[in-house]
Structure 1
Amino acid sequence: MNTIPQLGLGTFRLQGQQAIDSVSNGLELGYRHVDTAQIYGNEAEVGAALQAAEVPRREVFVTTKIWTENLGGDKLIASLKDSLHKLRLEQVDLTLIHWPSPQGAVPVAESMQALLEARAQGLSAAVGVSNFTKALLAQAIDAVGASNIATNQVELHPFLQNRGVAGFAREHGIHVTAYMPLAYGKVLADPAVLSIAARLNATPAQAALAWSMAKGYAVIPSSTKRENLAANLGALALRLSAEDIAAIDGLERGERLVSPDFAPAWDR
């Protein structure tokens, strides 16, 4: 599977049995895109759920992300092999640089070249980046070419629409994956989203996710509740009108929820 499925299952903050149950429920319900990361500390649990599922490996798109301390050319491939061991997989579908190297300690080009080598070795079918600004994305493009960057995964939701980065990616033919698409659930209480959802007989989460997907983004919401996982899948069938999309577009307020002290200088 080469195309990134539009709706995936995020596993950020899920630990132990909770991670196993969420992924197991998701696969059983019909999710075919699972997103994890080295720093989440749950690759082994995700791997256990994948192995136990009655779903052929080729039908599930699996993403992991390389943590900052493993971005050096001498560390990246070994760390990815460790991730594959935990995931019980011979290959992941997508490997991302999770965060750009703090203070540029490891050049973008060095990490991107290591990712291409990992792909050449068959460890990952595709490679990409996460939390990259326009300037950093330009560096990645200069290093390996836009065609070798499968996606830029960024925080993106109605309250932080990241239009500059998304537009820059689109100009270069690079796909965008939206993490935190429901803004930790804050979007679900917004009057505009509630109104649209009520009129369409949908949940607020479905309306917000449908908005992201209408923009062409992949979304990776997470949930520990089976009923929420099931409901979120319903967003795939929901069609928003141009007026609905414009109403949600109007909710932009630059509300960034994820910005650790090692984050890059964000685009304004």
Structure 2
Amino acid sequence: MQPTTTFRIGGDLEVRRLGFGAMRLPTEPADDRAASVALLRRAVELGVTLIDTAHLYGWGANEELVAEALHPYPADLLVTTKVGVVRTESGDWSYDARPASLRTQVDEALRRRRTDRVELLQLHRIDPDTPLADQLGALGDLRSEGKIGRIGLSEVTVAELAEARTIVDIASVQNRYNVLDREYEPVLRACEAADIAFLPWRPVAPGAAEKDPEITAVASELEATPTQVALAWLLAHSPVTVPIPGTASIGHLEENVAAADIRLTRDQYDRLNRAASPPR
């Protein structure tokens, strides 16, 4: 099987279909931070053109780390971020996608990123206490002002995606999804029908891929790792998937990126499909 190698988010923003999730990168102490900076730069050297971060990851520290490593950003690099979750006074977190709060969060993200525009801004979670029209309306206004290029969602249902699309154009959806966890298969198919990028977070079931007999058998046949097989399946499964595996190890990063070159046979793909848990 020969999957496509790139996808145009929003119809015009081309990225390679294997991105990188920065959530796991440590920002301190100094030695760990230096290693994280080196890993981000290595990802770009390897051809990664989409890096995913969020305000929630270290309450802005992860965004600042990405900026330290990669600013000024290469012209073909997309650094996405997410808003809509804030830190409470107790140090916990809560949803907050009220329009005024979203404006503040976006302005703070721009400052941390050292840019005046976010090409893809994702709503980390829908705020259950704020009308969806208000949340997405605020992001739509920010897009009209030039601070946002495209709007995405995270952890949504088919119904929520459909409602959101009546308010603003949606360029991406980021839901939990992998070969062994296909609860959001209907959301993936809705994205595919609308040509919306689907960014699976947790694209490899931690620990489970190495234990699944079908995945390990295919890995042995291809002289690959179970992680690489799981990523190759995602790329073959739908042309709109843009997996964002994360790691703090350069060795694992290189392994993940190499998964884009793995080609599953039709038989191997079908066997992996049967190994997957059925969507709920």
Q: How many Å apart are 1:81 and its aligned residue?
A: 1.4
Q: Which residue of 2 aligns with 1:86?
A: 112
* C-alpha distance in 2 between matches for 1:243 and 1:212: 15
> 4+ runs of 1 displaced by more than 6 Å?
none
- Which string of whole-angstrom CA distances, capped at 9 and with x for unpartnered residues, describes residues 149-175 of structure 1? 111110010111221111222233322
Matches within 5 A, 1:235-250: 235-250=259-274
Q: Which residue of 1 aligns with 2:167?
A: 143
Q: Which residue of 1 aligns with 2:47?
A: 30
* C-alpha distance in 1 between matches for 2:131 and 2:74: 34
Q: Which residue of 2 aligns with 1:210?
A: 232
Q: Secondary structure in 1 aligned to 2:79? A: strand
* C-alpha distance in 1 between matches for 2:96 and 2:15: 24
Q: Secondary structure in 1 aligned to 2:121? A: strand
Q: Secondary structure in 2 aligned to 1:64? A: strand
* C-alpha distance in 1 between matches for 2:110 and 2:191: 28
Q: How many Å apart are 1:4 and its aligned residue?
A: 4.0
Gaps of 5+ in 2: 1-11, 28-32, 86-94
Matched, 1:110 2:134: yes
Q: Which amino acid aligns with 2:179?
A: P
Q: Which residue of 2 aligns with 1:7?
A: 18
Q: Which residue of 2 aligns with 1:263?
A: none
- Contact 1:70–1:79 (Cα < 8 Å) also in 2: no
* C-alpha distance in 2 between matches for 1:163 and 1:116: 27
* C-alpha distance in 1 between matches for 2:36 and 2:82: 17
Q: Which residue of 2 aligns with 1:259?
A: none
- Which string of whole-angstrom CA distances, capped at 9 and with x for unpartnered residues, describes residues 55-104 of structure 1? x5312111100133441111212211101111122222211011111xx2
* C-alpha distance in 1 between matches for 2:103 and 2:141: 8
Deviates more, 1:14-23 or 1:212-221: 14-23
Return the TM-score normalized by structure 1: 0.86
Q: Which residue of 2 aligns with 1:71?
A: 97
Evaluate the alpha carbon distance shift between residue 28 and residue 174 of structure 1 in structure 2; reply closer, same or farther with a 3 A threshold: closer
Matches within 5 A, 1:214-233: 214=236, 215-216=238-239, 217-233=241-257
- Contact 1:182–1:188 (Cα < 8 Å) also in 2: no
* C-alpha distance in 2 between matches for 1:170 and 1:32: 21
Q: How many Å apart are 1:107 and its aligned residue?
A: 1.6
Q: Which amino acid aligns with 2:106?
A: L
Q: Which residue of 1 aligns with 2:5?
A: none
Q: Which amino acid aligns with 2:261?
A: A
Evaluate the alpha carbon distance shift between residue 46 and residue 70 of structure 1 in structure 2; reply closer, same or farther with a 3 A threshold: farther
Gaps of 5+ in 1: 255-266
Q: Which residue of 1 aligns with 2:217?
A: 195
Identity %: 29
* C-alpha distance in 1 between matches for 2:148 and 2:39: 24
Matched, 1:251 2:278: no
* C-alpha distance in 1 between matches for 2:117 and 2:180: 35
**Structure in which a larger fraction of residues adopt helix:** 1
- Contact 1:22–1:223 (Cα < 8 Å) also in 2: no
Q: Which amino acid aligns with 1:174?
A: I
Q: Which amino acid aligns with 1:6?
A: R
Q: Which residue of 2 aligns with 1:100?
A: 126
Q: Secondary structure in 1 aligned to 2:116? A: coil
* C-alpha distance in 2 between matches for 1:223 and 1:194: 21
* C-alpha distance in 1 between matches for 2:235 and 2:196: 15
Q: How many Å apart are 1:112 and its aligned residue?
A: 1.3
- How many residues of Structure 1 are paired with residues of Structure 2 in the alignment? 248
Aligned-CA RMSD value = 1.9
